[in-house]
A and B are shown apart, each in its own frame.
Chain A
Amino acid sequence: MKEKLEGILKKAKAEIENIQTLALLDEVRVKFLGKTGELTQILRGMKDVPAEQRREIGTLANQVRESLEGWLSEKWAMLENAKLLADMEKEKVDITEPSRGVKRGALHPLTRFNNKFMELCVEMGFTVIQTPEIETDYYNFEALNVPKNHPARDMQDSLYVTDTILMRTHTSPAQVHAMETLKPPFKIVCPGRVYRNDNDSSHSPIFNQFEALVIDENIGLKDFMIMVKEMAVRLYGKDVKMRVRPSYFPFTEPSIEIDATCQICHGKGCTLCKGTGFSEFFGGGIVNPAILEMSGIDSTKYSGFAFGPGIDRSVMVTNKIPNIKYLFRNDLRFLKQMR
């Protein structure tokens, strides 16, 4: 009996070791441990074993069963794992095949720029406002110190609807609306479309500007510059350099044009900045007191500054857009590059 058990142990061990599939392994299990399995039969035949040997044989038989079960489950786990690995190997995909499902589209570069800038303004305490695109000449010109027949009206050839109503030529009327409706101190910014009677390879009749206005007590040109510098740093990084040039706007006095480090060549000089290393950032200045008075703000108490660049050119520069006409052509081949 003892020999028989030891034989089973030896045989089973060898068979289990050689098995390579789960199905065959199960057959081995049945062969030894199934209802009519070799070991089961021995265990069933225990009653025929002489009593004095029964204890010893019984212990041995149980040990053999435990060993068999251990080997079987170990081998089972091993084979199962091997099968998983083999299955995964079969399921291997070509990871370079294209993705499926809806592909993200893209915002227009002007929107992206505008959002970035508006966020910056809001963080600095500006309120974003919106005013009409079709304006009266009072808001577009007169209230901004451009009286009828002022030569400055020559600078902005306008699209008129009637003698007194026109497509706004700049976002500056927003200044007047703000001064008429808000109580100082305030800071506003108004992004929007503007219109000019101008359409050639480098000009679009419709383009985008924003207008910002700060009215407070004790505001001077230095405060303006500190703010502009802060904006430039946040947009272009802390190494940005500034350059101030005199300029002329009917509604600001003094008026300045502020250049910042050219973002194409980073100050080294390129064709875009004509080798100067600087490109136009903002134009603006101290609000002319005459304007404050016209809109009902006490110019002896309050002062302020206004500024407002066109953003189309900045968008072209920062996105390296070769032609201004791309901004309104909406060619998918262009738009896809904005993803």
Chain B
Amino acid sequence: MKISYNWLKDFVDLKDLSAQEVAEKLTTSGFEVEDVICQNEHLHDVYVGKIEKIEKHPEADRLQVCSVDVGFKKVQIITSATNVFEGALVPVSLDGADLCNGVQIKPTNFRGVPSDGMFCSGEELGIDDNYFEGAGINGILILPQDFVAGAKIEDALLLNDVIFDINVTPNRPDCNSVVGIAREVCAIFDKTFKECDLSYKTVGGDVNKHIKVSVETPNCPRYMAAFVKNIKLQRSPLWLRSRLHAVGIKPINNMVDITNYILMEQGQPMHAFDYAYLQGQQIVVRQAAKDEKIAVLNGNTYDLSDDVMVIADAKKPVVIAGVIGGVNSCICETTTESVFECAVFDLKSVRLTARKFGLSTDSSARYSKGVNINMPTTALKRALHLVDVLGCGEIVDGLVDVCTQKLEQRKELKISYQNVCKILGIEISKDKMVQILSGLGIETEVSGETLLCRPPFVREDLKNENDIAEEVIRIFGYDIYNNVEGGLFENAATTTGQFHARLQMENCLKNILVDSGFYETLNYSLYSASACDKLLLAQGDARRNVIKIANPISEDLSTARTVMAHALLLDVAYNLSVGNKDLRFFEVGRIYQAQKLPLEKLPVENNRLSVAVCESGFDFFQLKGVVENLLLGFGLTYSLRRSQETYLHSGVSADVVTEDGRVVGWFGKVHKAVLKNYGISQDVYYAELDTDLLAALPEKQYSTKEVSKFPTVERDLALVVDEAVTNEQLSGAIKSAAGKIFYDVNLFDVYRSEALGEGKKSLAYKIVFASDDKTLTGEEISAAVNKILRSLSFRFGAKLREM
């Protein structure tokens, strides 16, 4: 919201304050001034000058040498402009000037003739024809003869304002106006608010004879109108144009400028109709019919529908209510009679319409924030005051006022003084509170320990003690808290803190991975729906039931993820593409699985740990080791079975299955076809664990037994078996055949060769024997080994390999 400092001065005496001070205090009291723009930033060292004499340049035909009076001295300016003449008043920029278009002025020399500066065009002063007649021409701005040579140009052209760009929070729609901010300034600096002049003369007659207003929609709680005749349409005076120009509104003509002036000053959007074009001399506020169209002031034509509120005459829509006026009834050169509209529209209706047409106007923006039902009376009177002051036309007696809602009375809040102090945690005296609240226009009386507060009607945000406490403290100053002292939670009960079990467990897993050389990644949990295809998910896979974002930022961010692998594969592909090697990544994140689509209730959110490795020499069994290490800390007995995961290599992947059959994770080599989909040409190994399932496991219990005093004995056996025989089968059989003296068995080599034959492999085991109560003899060991060999031969056809 842009607010003009000069405009504020209409309502507050700011003589003893600088704009900077006001801006700082506004910020510290809740109205952040994001920018302070000085209009004269590029207008210093520019003066009104009177050209006294023009001579030809002795050396250059196109140049003229002008003697100029700039009030405090005479200067010489060389110009190539052709529209200057003796006696003309022009803007003269002198040494040091730094103009709007970036030109810096220094005394110079044109072919031997010195020039003290330059004449300026309107453009160089940052203005155009809308602001000042003649400012748009391609030449020097010729100023009116009533300007005074020697005046600073910023004063002469009323470009000496300071503009605050204020971030008005949504709870304070009343402050999207000069009067709203002025009231705040009054409260902050303890000044008196100068009420608006609402007086105006009328010429008799009766507004109701000219116009009939009917409201046929619930979206218009109030519609006020006035009638002005014998309109003299012309440029507004410079002071008014200057106000609008300062806040970025283009001056058009006196009638339209008044509506914009009221919008900025009072925060009330208005509209002016050309009465001649209102058929049936009536205004109907209604929802549009389906087949209606309207051509509006931005040059577009819109198809209307019944969710759009319009202002219509007897036949046709003339305005999209609260958003933009139609070309069929706007003020134009021929306008002699006008109806002023000053209405309250439902903020939702205006906002939805503005959004529907992609139209954001000053009016729609203002209505979208909420206009109070009491505002139109003041605003309309203020507009008529301006009509009168500017002499735009004659005001007919009476105001139309169709109000479908009861006007609000000032509400009274009973506020406990003690509770306000409690909320703030500090003591502020009742007198001080009353002073602050009254300054904000909140009529406040003290009754014992109670404050009776009557906020102004525009302060719809004030409802309870907390609201009043905030008003008090923001004007009193939050600085009091900057160096606050006291005990931590001295007024609160002691609570014991607790980590979240899953987050804590995930942190442990993260640290294990980091120690194993992994880097943590973070990926967006939204992705492209094509992820399911890239990962070769089967058509019936539940993970294809993805939750779609209704208004996605892009296709890449259009779907809540149901699979983790996609993100890490993208990370691997990206890193390979930029030349990074030896990638060990992991991510802890969520997937979102709908039970039913379209979503009726919230989806299941499941937390996962995913791991990806792309490193030369890395293999399945190293990955298995990573997974085993991660699972070591859990009270979990699990087995592995071949994984059905479609994005993994069917022969080089496994599921981790609990005793009760739940799959807590899976790992393996990524399917070649999947890698191709991601443009990855190297092997990638991937693992995933369900951290919700892991977090629900009981804590691991440890149980140890005495360590044997007697030495262990090792024997190595190399066994030739069919490929189909697994290590799990053999080592299980070794364990059971070895009986009581079994201690441990480890596969340390796997060997295949032509000599062994097709479909055969040799597995070399180190078997460890031990006894708790004696030293084992050679005979005992041999007996056990023989038993093992017999058992393996019988069960798996295993033969001892000839070394």
Q: CB-defined interface of A42-63 with B at 8 Å, one 1/0 digit per residue?
A: 0000000000000000000000
Number of A interface residues, CB 8 Å?
93
Task: Indicate if the CB atoms of A222 and B473 lie closer than 8 Å.
Answer: no
| CB of A61, distance to nearest CB on chain B (Å) | 49
Task: Indicate if the CB atoms of B490 and A254 lie closer than 8 Å.
Answer: no
Query: Restricting to B450-505, which residues have a CB under 8 Å from any CB of A?
Result: 463-467, 469-470, 473-474, 478-479, 481-500, 502-503
Number of B interface residues, CB 8 Å?
96
Task: Indicate if the CB atoms of B580 and A105 lie closer than 8 Å.
Answer: no
Query: Restricting to A234-270, which residues have a CB under 8 Å from any CB of B?
Result: 241-248, 250, 253-256
B241 interface residue (CB < 8 Å to A)? no
Q: CB-defined interface of A139-168 with B at 8 Å, one 1/0 digit per residue?
A: 000000000111110110001111001010
Of all chain B residues, which has the CB nearest A151? B170
A205 to B554 Cα, complex, angstroms: 11
Q: Which of the residues B370, B478, B547 comes within 8 Å of A161, measured between beta carbons?
A: B547
Of A105, A122, A286, chain B has the most CB atoms within 10 Å of the CB of: A105
Task: Indicate if the CB atoms of A254 and B551 lie closer than 8 Å.
Answer: no
| CB of B1, distance to nearest CB on chain A (Å) | 13
| CB of A174, distance to nearest CB on chain B (Å) | 12
A127 interface residue (CB < 8 Å to B)? yes
Task: Indicate if the CB atoms of B605 and A221 lie closer than 8 Å.
Answer: no
A167 with B423: in contact, given A111-B520, A130-B503 (CB under 8 Å)? no
A254 with B599: in contact, given A122-B498, A149-B347, A331-B575 (CB under 8 Å)? no
A319 interface residue (CB < 8 Å to B)? no
Task: Indicate if the CB atoms of A245 and B523 lie closer than 8 Å.
Answer: no
Task: Indicate if the CB atoms of B423 and A199 lie closer than 8 Å.
Answer: no
Task: Indicate if the CB atoms of B497 and A121 lie closer than 8 Å.
Answer: yes
Task: Indicate if the CB atoms of B517 and A330 lie closer than 8 Å.
Answer: no
B403 interface residue (CB < 8 Å to A)? no
* Stretch of A15-23, A90-98, A211-219 on the interface side: A211-219
A268 to B310 Cα, complex, angstroms: 56
Task: Indicate if the CB atoms of B474 and A206 lie closer than 8 Å.
Answer: no
Q: CB-defined interface of B422-433 with A at 8 Å, one 1/0 digit per residue?
A: 111110000000
Q: Which residues of B contact A217 (CB under 8 A)?
A: 491-493
Task: Indicate if the CB atoms of A133 and B498 lie closer than 8 Å.
Answer: no
Task: Indicate if the CB atoms of B29 and A246 lie closer than 8 Å.
Answer: yes
A218 with B422: in contact, given A186-B495, A205-B553, A244-B479 (CB under 8 Å)? yes
A290 to B496 Cα, complex, angstroms: 27
Task: Indicate if the CB atoms of A218 and B518 lie closer than 8 Å.
Answer: no
Task: Indicate if the CB atoms of A125 and B491 lie closer than 8 Å.
Answer: no
Of all chain B residues, which has the CB nearest A254? B470
Task: Indicate if the CB atoms of B482 and A241 lie closer than 8 Å.
Answer: yes
* Stretch of B78-86, B210-218, B582-590 on the interface side: B582-590
A149 with B351: in contact, given A161-B548, A205-B557, A254-B466 (CB under 8 Å)? yes
Query: Restricting to A146-203, which residues have a CB under 8 Å from any CB of B?
Result: 148-152, 154-155, 159-162, 165, 167, 185-187, 191, 193, 195, 197-199
Q: Which residues of B contact A244 (CB under 8 A)?
A: 478-479, 481-482
Task: Indicate if the CB atoms of B369 and A151 lie closer than 8 Å.
Answer: yes
| CB of A189, distance to nearest CB on chain B (Å) | 9
B510 interface residue (CB < 8 Å to A)? yes
Q: Which of the residues B29, B551, B585 comes within 8 Å of A197, measured between beta carbons?
A: B551
Q: Which of the residues B515, B525, B598, B605 comes within 8 Å of A206, measured between beta carbons?
A: B525
A133 with B592: in contact, given A223-B489, A223-B492 (CB under 8 Å)? yes
B202 interface residue (CB < 8 Å to A)? no
Task: Indicate if the CB atoms of B497 and A161 lie closer than 8 Å.
Answer: no
Query: Restricting to B515-574, which residues have a CB under 8 Å from any CB of A?
Result: 515-526, 547-554, 557, 560, 571, 574
Task: Indicate if the CB atoms of B30 and A248 lie closer than 8 Å.
Answer: yes
A289 with B482: in contact, given A135-B602, A199-B554, A248-B170 (CB under 8 Å)? no
Of all chain A residues, which has the CB nearest B480? A244
A151 with B173: in contact, given A136-B602, A205-B557, A254-B474 (CB under 8 Å)? yes
B20 interface residue (CB < 8 Å to A)? no
Q: Which of the residues A152, A159, A191 comes within 8 Å of B549, measured between beta carbons?
A: A159
Q: Which residues of B contact A136 (CB under 8 A)?
A: 602
| CB of B446, distance to nearest CB on chain A (Å) | 21
B507 interface residue (CB < 8 Å to A)? yes
A298 to B172 Cα, complex, angstroms: 28
Q: Which of the residues A221, A226, A247 comes within 8 Å of B473, measured between beta carbons?
A: A221
Main secondary structure of the interface of A (DSSP, over half): mixed
Of A115, A290, A332, chain B has the most CB atoms within 10 Å of the CB of: A332
| CB of A30, distance to nearest CB on chain B (Å) | 39
B803 interface residue (CB < 8 Å to A)? no
A134 interface residue (CB < 8 Å to B)? yes
Q: Which residues of B contact A279 (CB under 8 A)?
A: none
Task: Indicate if the CB atoms of B520 and A223 lie closer than 8 Å.
Answer: no
A33 interface residue (CB < 8 Å to B)? no
Of all chain B residues, which has the CB nearest A119? B499
A333 interface residue (CB < 8 Å to B)? yes
Task: Indicate if the CB atoms of B605 and A132 lie closer than 8 Å.
Answer: yes
Q: CB-defined interface of B310-328 with A at 8 Å, one 1/0 digit per residue?
A: 0000000000000000000
A123 to B474 Cα, complex, angstroms: 32
A151 to B474 Cα, complex, angstroms: 22
Task: Indicate if the CB atoms of B602 and A106 lie closer than 8 Å.
Answer: no
Task: Indicate if the CB atoms of B497 and A122 lie closer than 8 Å.
Answer: yes
A38 interface residue (CB < 8 Å to B)? no
Task: Indicate if the CB atoms of B584 and A150 lie closer than 8 Å.
Answer: no
Q: Which residues of A contact B490 (CB under 8 A)?
A: 223, 226
B374 interface residue (CB < 8 Å to A)? no
A253 to B603 Cα, complex, angstroms: 33
A250 to B172 Cα, complex, angstroms: 12
B348 interface residue (CB < 8 Å to A)? yes
Q: Which residues of B contact A130 (CB under 8 A)?
A: 500, 502-503
A148 to B349 Cα, complex, angstroms: 12
A289 with B602: in contact, given A218-B491, A246-B29 (CB under 8 Å)? no
| CB of B413, distance to nearest CB on chain A (Å) | 13
Task: Indicate if the CB atoms of A151 and B466 lie closer than 8 Å.
Answer: no
Q: Which residues of A contact B305 (CB under 8 A)?
A: none
Q: Which of the residues B370, B478, B488, B550 comes within 8 Å of A230, measured between beta carbons?
A: B488
Q: Which residues of B contact A254 (CB under 8 A)?
A: 423-424, 466, 469-470, 473-474
Task: Indicate if the CB atoms of B492 and A216 lie closer than 8 Å.
Answer: yes
B368 interface residue (CB < 8 Å to A)? yes
| CB of B550, distance to nearest CB on chain A (Å) | 5
Task: Indicate if the CB atoms of B351 and A205 lie closer than 8 Å.
Answer: no
A118 interface residue (CB < 8 Å to B)? yes
Q: Which of the residues B464, B488, B553, B578 comes within 8 Å of A226, measured between beta carbons?
A: B488
Q: Which residues of B contact A105 (CB under 8 A)?
A: 513-520, 584
A24 interface residue (CB < 8 Å to B)? no
Task: Indicate if the CB atoms of A222 and B553 lie closer than 8 Å.
Answer: no
Of all chain B residues, which has the CB nearest A304? B492
Of all chain B residues, which has the CB nearest A102? B517
Q: Which residues of A contact B281 (CB under 8 A)?
A: none
A133 with B590: in contact, given A104-B517, A105-B513 (CB under 8 Å)? yes
Task: Indicate if the CB atoms of B599 and A162 lie closer than 8 Å.
Answer: yes
7 A/B residue pairs, CB under 8 Å, sorted by A: A105-B515, A132-B605, A159-B550, A165-B599, A241-B482, A253-B467, A328-B524
* Contacts from A to B (Cβ < 8 Å): 102-108, 110-111, 115, 118, 121-130, 132-136, 148-152, 154-155, 159-162, 165, 167, 185-187, 191, 193, 195, 197-199, 205-206, 214, 216-227, 229-230, 241-248, 250, 253-256, 286, 288-290, 303, 327-333, 335-336, 338
Ranked 5 nearest A-B pairs via Cβ? A222-B425, A220-B425, A248-B169, A254-B470, A122-B497
